[in-house]
Amino acid sequence: MILGKEDLSQYNSAKSPWFNVATNGKVDIGIEQGHIQKIGLASEGMYKIVDEWLNSFHGLTKEQRENLIKKLEK
């Protein structure tokens, strides 16, 4: 999935950043479509990022936060 401008911080310098979530929970993040270099996260790495993000001011709307909670309850 390609990330749009609205998904990125003002400090983004990647040309066309993307991510892919595999069925096993692993996540790949890249700076440009077709660029072979990427960051690969195991489920534990993704958990650490989300946990740290949620402990900060995450900027979610009430609806977004409620949607995440519903998904975690499944």
Nearest C-alpha neighbor of 40 from the set 60, 58, 25: 25
Residue-level pLDDT at 41 = 95
> What does the pLDDT look like over 4-45, one tens digit per residue?
999 999 999 998 999 999 999 899 999 998 888 899 999 999
Residue-level pLDDT at 58 = 84
Q: What is the pTM of this model?
A: 0.74
Helices and strands of the chain, counted as H and E runs: 2, 3
> What does the pLDDT look like over 47-62, one tens digit per residue?
999 888 888 888 899 9
Residue-level pLDDT at 34 = 83
Residue-level pLDDT at 40 = 95
In the numeric block, the tokens 């993704």 are attached to: 46
**What distance lies between CA 4 and its chain's CA centroid?**
12
